[in-house]
A and B are shown apart, each in its own frame.
Chain A
Amino acid sequence: NAGVTQTPKFRVLKTGQSMTLLCAQDMNHEYMYWYRQDPGMGLRLIHYSVGEGTTAKGEVPDGYNVSRLKKQNFLLGLESAAPSQTSVYFCASNPRSGAGNTIYFGEGSWLTVV
C-alpha cells in the first residue's frame, strides 16, 4: 500500500521556468492538500481539493495553480518559478472532512529555484 506518493522528490529550477508536482494517493480519499514547509515556519496550506474536479485556495495560493482531474491525483503547478518558492512541498490526503479522521502526508518534494 503506497499511501501518498509525490514526484519528483528533488528539483532545481531556474527563475521563470515552469513545473508540475504530482501527488497520487491510493486510499480513495476525497480530500487532498498541498502544503509548503519553510524553516522557522509551520506547514502552510497552498491549495486543497474536497473532491474530483474541485479546488480551493488555501493560505498562500499566489504563484501556484492546481488541478484534480482524477480523484487519486492532485497536481501543483508553478507557472513562473521565483526564488521565494524554494521550499519543501508536501501533499496530504484524508477520507472526508471532520475531526478524528487521520491525514496522511507524502514524503515531500524539495524544490530549489535559482
Chain B
Amino acid sequence: SQKIEQNSEALNIQEGKTATLTCNYTNYSPAYLQWYRQDPGRGPVFLLLIRENEKEKRKERLKVTFDTTLKQSLFHITASQPADSATYLCALDPSGGYQKVTFGTGTKLQVIP
C-alpha cells in the first residue's frame, strides 16, 4: 500500500542554522509533491509544489528537492528563525487533483533562539 514517512520525532535546531526535513514514500509514483506548514490549532498553509521532472525548487529561504529514484523529498529552511517553528507536512499528488492527494503526518520543527 502507499505510504508516506515523515520523521515523527521533533527536530530541534539552533536559530540561524539550516533545517532539513525528510519525506520518504513507497509504492507511489507522484507527479507532484507539496509541502505545507501547520501551526498549532490552525489549518495547513500551502508552501511549495515541485513536479516530478524538477530536481529542486526555491522560494525565499525555502528549498525543496525531489528525487524520484530515491523516492524522497528534502525540505530545507536556511537561516532558520524561531518564527519558523511549526509542523511541516508533505503531500503527494499523483495527477494534479487535490482529491487524490495523500498527506504525511508531519514533522514538528522547533527553532531555538
Contact = CB atoms under 8 A, between A and B. Distances in A.
Chain A contact-residue range equals 20 to 34
Contacts, number: 58
B81 interface: no
Interface stretch (B9-17, B58-66, B69-77, B101-109): B101-109
Contact of A56 (B44, B93, B99): B99
Contact of B32 (A99, A105, A106): A99
Given A4-B43, A41-B105, A56-B99, 18 more contacts: A31-B98, A40-B105, A42-B103, A42-B105, A42-B106, A43-B103, A45-B101, A48-B98, A58-B99, A90-B43, A97-B97, A99-B31, A99-B32, A99-B93, A105-B43, A107-B41, A107-B43, A108-B43
14 contacts: A31-B98, A33-B98, A42-B89, A42-B104, A44-B103, A48-B98, A58-B99, A99-B31, A99-B32, A99-B49, A100-B96, A106-B43, A107-B42, A108-B43
